[in-house]
Amino acid sequence: MGDPLRVAIAGLGTVGSGTVRLIEANAGLLAARTGREIVITAVADLDPRDRGFATESYRWYDNALAMAENTDADVIVELIGGAEGIARKVCETAIARGRHVVTANKALIAHHGTDLARAAEAAGVTLAYEAAVGGGIPVIKSLREGLVGNACERVYGILNGTCNYILTAMRESGRGFQEVLAEAQALGYAEADPSFDVDGVDTAHKLAILASVAFGCTVDFAAVHIEGIRQISADDIAFADELGYRIKLLGIAKRTPAGVERRVHPCMVPLGSPIAHVEGVFNAVVADGDFVDTIIQVGRGAGERPTASAVVADIADIARGNRVATFAVSAAELAALPAASMQNHRGAYYVRLMVLDKPGVFADIAAILRDHDVSMEAVIQRARAPGEAVPVVMTTHETAESAMTHCLAAIQRLPFCQEAPHMIRIEPF
């Protein structure tokens, strides 16, 4: 058996503590599978509270940067979080000191992954981040290694368990967004400030990373089109069911002739699609390869144990001496692929309007659709007393996003339109 692999962990929150527990519990299994003993030599955290394991067994630092500079560890595990500040400094310092880095920090990789990969490559060390996307789902390893022989044209998925839980609970209970969000917060599925989750930013971080691995391009968070789920209503959920769809917040990266689409937004997906039935806090990632066709991976996308499992998988690769390029190709060869404009996107759409129920309303709407070359596929209208506001729902055939944008702006200006039109893209998975 080779020399022990020495590991130092920065951040003893949920995932950091779970990582310690996993390494302690499965030390023998890890040694048998990697050929080396994996030992924790140091930990860093500002809070010295009891965590249910013997922290006195390890050298304690209250300054993670000092640990990255001075420890004798071979691997620094960064589990502090955040794109800037101490987390970034710890990773940069560890790499500069010739130490491998393992992180679960999707924001850091989404914003600085290209630069960190170049630095790690120059230093001859590994930068690993399996836990940054999909929790316990080994999606990075699958794309980078399992599908190494495939050209990938599209990768997409449910990448945020909080949003998937909220949309699932809304559908199952008929309740509105705010009520279900409060329940998710009470259950610990949503943060006190849920903005990163429900506004799509967390999903966008993960999608930026997936696009880089799938397409061999620089990590470009700024190129991601981002929409969240705050505007999804109980009515939208019910209409989707009536039309044969489920609403999911998806991250979608796709090659197109105009460049790479990187988009995060609510989607209506057909009930016949496997991803439509991924419910609750589960995540799912789908990749299309030219030889393998389509693969689907489903699992828990967050939490102590699944995320710690992914962290330790990266540590085990380092223990074995497995070295692969951070984003599937050499950092020097990462391409700066052009971003496809969202206005050039083509697809079908669901539109919900709230209009006064009076003669001529639908004729005016139909005229605007005609003038913008938008063709209706189906219409649902609920009858109410004349003069009252009534929801009108329609789906369209494939059209350009730019046409839909101009069309809905024109409809909103009509005097009988009572609120801004609401649009959800339909994805034919």
pLDDT tens readout for residues 235-294: 999 999 999 999 999 999 999 998 999 999 999 999 999 999 999 999 999 999 999 999
Residue pLDDT, tens place only, 103-155: 999 999 999 999 999 999 999 999 999 999 998 899 999 999 999 999 999 99
pTM greater than 0.85: yes
387 pLDDT tier (thresholds 50, 70, 90)? low
Yes or no: domain 139-300 corresponds to CATH 3.30.360.10 = yes
Beta bridge partners of 300: 282
List 141, 206, 248, 254, catalytic entry: 206
* CA 423 centroid distance within chain: 22
> Using 50, 70 and 90 to split pLDDT, how confident is the model at 188?
confident
What DSSP character marks residue 85? H
- CATH says 5-132 is which class? alpha beta
CA angle 80, 229, 155 (to 5 degrees): 70
Concerning whether 206 is annotated as a catalytic residue, the answer is: yes
Percent of the chain's residues with pLDDT above 70: 99
> What confidence tens digit (pLDDT) does each residue in 65-115 have?
999 999 999 999 999 999 989 999 999 999 999 999 999 999 999 999 999
Percent of the chain whose pLDDT exceeds 90 = 76
Angle 59-64-67 from CA coordinates, rounded to 5°: 50
pLDDT band at 1 (very low <50, low <70, confident <90, very high): low
Which backbone phi and psi does 254 adopt, to 5 degrees? -150, 140
CATH 1.20.120.420 fits 344-426, yes or no: no
Q: At 87, list the tokens.
A: 């987390």
Nearest to 106 by CA among 152, 139, 74, 143: 139
Residue ranges of the domains in the chain? 5-132, 139-300, 344-426
Handedness of CA 384, 387, 388, 390 (dihedral sign): positive
